[in-house]
Amino acid sequence: MSIKRFHLPARLRQIVSALGLVVLFVFTLEGAARVDDWIHYSAPLFKRYEFDHLFRVDGRGLSGAPNAQYLRWRLNADGLRGEDVRPNIGQIRILTYGASETFGIFEENGKEYPRALERELNRRAVPDQFEVLNAGLPGMRVGSGVTLFKELAGRFHPSVVIIYPTPTHYIGVNRPYCNRPPKPLLVISDLWPGIRIGDKLREEFKKIVPPTLQHEIRKISIRWQTRDQPLLDRVDEISLKAFRTDLICAIDAASALGMKPILVTHANRFGKNQLSDDPLRLTQWRQQYPELREAGFLDLELRANEIVRGLAKTQSVLLVDADKELSGETKWFADHAHFTNEGATALAVLLTPTILSITANLPR
Predicted local distance difference test score (pLDDT) of residue 272 = 80
What's the pLDDT score for residue 109? 92
- Top mean pLDDT of 209-218, 270-279, 297-306 is at 297-306
Whether the pLDDT of residue 6 is over 70: the answer is no
Report pLDDT for 38: 63
Q: In this predicted structure, what is the pLDDT of residue 286? A: 95
Q: What was the pLDDT predicted at 116?
A: 97
pLDDT band at 161 (very low <50, low <70, confident <90, very high): very high
79-114 pLDDT per residue, tens: 999 999 999 888 999 999 999 999 999 999 999 999
Question: pLDDT at residue 45 above 90?
Answer: no
- What is the reported pLDDT for 126? 83
Distance CA 43, CA 169 (A): 31
296-299 own/partner pairs: CB under 8 Å, 24+ apart: 296/232, 296/233, 296/234, 296/235, 297/168, 297/336, 298/268, 298/270, 299/234, 299/235
Strands 61-64 and 55-58: antiparallel
- Per-residue pLDDT, 7: 61
The answer to whether residue 299 scores a pLDDT higher than 60 is yes
Residue 206 has pLDDT above 80, yes or no: no
* Residue 40: half-sphere exposure toward Cβ, Cα within 13 Å: 10
Region 44-69: mean pLDDT is 79
Contact of 329 with 349, CB cutoff 8 Å: no
Instruction: At 348, give phi and psi (nearest 5°).
Output: -60, -45
Average pLDDT over residues 20-44: 70
Q: Give me the mean pLDDT over the 168-172 stretch.
A: 95
Higher pLDDT, 207 or 233: 233
* Average pLDDT estimate for 149-165: 92
Say yes or no to pLDDT of 8 above 80. no
Span 118-128, mean pLDDT?
91
User: Does 196 score more than 90 pLDDT?
Assistant: no
Cβ atoms of 171 and 237 within 8 Å: the answer is no
How large is the average pLDDT for residues 43-51?
Answer: 72
Class of domain 51-359: alpha beta
Checking if the pLDDT of 185 tops 70, the result is no
Residue 342 or residue 53, greater confidence: 342
Residues 63, 65, 66, 69: what is their CA dihedral angle, to the nearest 10 degrees?
Answer: -130
**Region of residue 73 (left: phi > 0; alpha: psi -120 to 50; beta: else):** beta
pLDDT value at position 244?
97
Would you state the pLDDT for residue 345? 97
How confident is the model at residue 190, as a pLDDT? 53
- What integer best gives the mean pLDDT of the chain? 86
How confident is residue 5, by pLDDT bands cut at 50, 70 and 90? low
Domain segments of the chain as ranges: 9-46, 51-359
pLDDT of residue 332: 96
Sign of the torsion angle spanned by Cα atoms 236, 338, 345, 65: positive
User: Is the pLDDT score of 180 beyond 60?
Assistant: yes
**Residue 138 above 60 pLDDT?**
yes
